Structures are given as C-alpha cells and as structure tokens.
Amino acid sequence: MDGPDLNLLFVLDVLLAEQSVARAAKKLRLSPSAMSRALARLRDTTGDPLLVQAGRGLVPSPRALELRDRVARLVREANEVLQPGEHLDLKKLDRSFTLRTSEGFVENFGPALLARVAAEAPGVTLRFLPKLGKDSALLRDGTVDLETGVIDEETGPELRAQTLFEDHVVGAVREGHALTRGKVTAARYAACDHLGVSRRTLERGPIDDALRTLGLQRRIAAVVGGFATAIAVARRSDLVATVPFHHSGVLLDGLHTFALPVAQPTMKVSLLWHPRLDADAAHRWLRSCVHASIDLRGAAARS
C-alpha cells in the first residue's frame, strides 16, 4: 500500500515525549542506531528536523511542537482500536494505585474518594504520597499513577491533564485577630506580620508585587515549606497566612478567612497522568472516582 509508514507515528510519539534518541530507543526496545535511522526517516517524510541539538540534549522544532498533541492523540486512538474490548469487573479488581497529591487534598477529598473506591472496588488499595516538587519523572517511570497540581512550565509536556477545580488564595487568621474586625484594607493587611510559603526560600511573590504598586510592603516574619504548616502556625499566633481556599478546605476550620485586598489570579488544580495509561480501564475508572469526589459545595458555603 502506497503512502507513509504509519509505524513512524508510534516512533514519533515516543521521540517527542522523551526528546532523546537513547531513551526512546530503550522504551521501544530498539537499538540506538535503529532509532537514529527511524528519526532520519521521519525527518525525510515530514521535511522537518523535528528534534535539534541544543547543548547535550535535543529540543523539538516548532513543527514538532505543532504535531506533538496530534500525534499523541492518533497513537492513543490507534492503541484503543487495536486492543480488545476490556470488561472491568470492579468487584474482582485487585490493584494498588499511587497518587501524589498536594497538601490538603487527602484531608479534603480523601474520605469521599476512599468511600467510593471501597464501595465499588473493595480490592483496590490507594497509596497517597506528598507532592514535594513538580518533577514528572515519577509519572513517566510508573512509580505514580495519578497526580494533582497546577500546570506550569515545569510540568512534563507529554502528560495528560483534566481540570479538577479552580481555586483562589485567601487570608487566614486566628479568631480574635485584629483582621477579624472591620474591613480588611490593603494597608491593614500589609501592616500585619505574615507567613511566607515557599520550598525555594523565596520570601516575595505576586502579593508583594501587588502591594508594591500601592506603595505598601508587608513583613514576612517566617517562611514555611507548605500552606498546611502556615495554617497551623497562624492558628496559634498573630501571623497572617495566605493560602489556597478550596484546597485548604477543612484545614481552615476554626480560622477566620477573608478575601485579599489586592487582586490575585485564580489557579486551576488539575489531575495529571502519563498517556500510556489513557486506555487502561481501571485507571479511567479511578480518574472518574477522583472527579466524583471533588465536591466544593461545603467549601463554597464557607466563602
């Protein structure tokens, strides 16, 4: 049959995901020389270099970036077409899934998720890991099945993502704090001592930039590594914590929360996974369980 070799689509998908001939060869169980020949054929077929040398690594060309999502979708659909239909018997499913989640996820959404999983698939075990960084290696190598987080430039470009919910930051103080009374203005907010949240020891951020445009500056009295720690400290001090509202959820019980007096962008919290698990029936079921467990009505009632 005339036309391009469609097997090259599968090679291209892996090459664009790995951006390395050696890693792509290992993943497809080919020799590096065979993978290099395949890349040469792809370049000849598409009329584009696709991957170009940059230092010691390879980076995708503009044409490759344009093709990446289309190729991944075609490969995923081809895999689904060529696989036999799978009947998933949840009552007999015996499997363990690892989820890497940001602070507050398990506390807020874990009970509903665990209850749903136990009711539908009692043989399934969920293992939750804390998300201490945004490195996508654990999703790539299969150590982690699902992950939650905000997509940014550090997120692996090949990962699949579905938005779970939108969130925004709020101020949180103990009951009886001065900011629990009266309108919280930018000046009153800036005049208080604050808790910074950063794993990179950076004390300043978008809130400080917004205050600076008003001629104001807040004092960061302490920097902690996560917003759960910030909430715990604010609960027993006069320091102000600024944290994501919906994701903090039950962690904020007993604290007074207020809208920030300076505008801040909302953030999208997404569910992330590696594309090789797209067609996995049990994984699709788990993703649906996570979505069903995200119920913001309780959190919205407190806003």
Tens digits of per-residue pLDDT, 59-81? 888 998 888 888 888 887 777 66
- What's the pLDDT tens digit per position in 208-256? 999 999 999 999 999 998 899 999 999 999 999 999 999 898 999 999 9
Q: What is the mean pLDDT of the chain?
A: 87
Output phi, psi for 191, to 5 deg: -75, -15
Give me the residues paired with residue 7 across strands: none
Distance of CA 87 to the CA centre of its chain: 29
Kindly tell me the sign of the dihedral angle through the C-alpha atoms of 188, 267, 296, 236: negative
b or e along 177-211 (b: 16 or more beta carbons within 10 Å of the residue's beta carbon)?
bebeeeebebeebbebebbbbeeeeeeeeebbebb
Domains along the chain with CATH numbers: 7-82 (1.10.10.10), 90-167+267-302 (3.40.190.10), 169-259 (3.40.190.10)
In degrees and rounded to multiples of 5, residue 221 shows phi and psi of -80, -25
**Backbone phi and psi for residue 286, each to the nearest 5 degrees, phi listed first:** -60, -40
Instruction: Encode pLDDT of 187-215 as tens digits.
Output: 999 999 999 988 766 667 889 999 999 99
Return the H-helix or E-strand segment holding 120.
helix 105-120
Instruction: Say if CB 116 and CB 98 are below 8 A apart.
Output: no
Do the bridges between strand 160-167 and strand 146-150 make them parallel or antiparallel, or are there none, so unpaired?
A: unpaired
Q: Is the pLDDT of residue 265 over 80?
A: yes
pTM (2 d.p.): 0.66
* Per-residue pLDDT tens digits for 116-171: 999 999 999 999 998 877 778 888 888 999 999 888 777 778 888 999 999 999 99
Maximum Cα–Cα distance for the chain, whole Å?
78
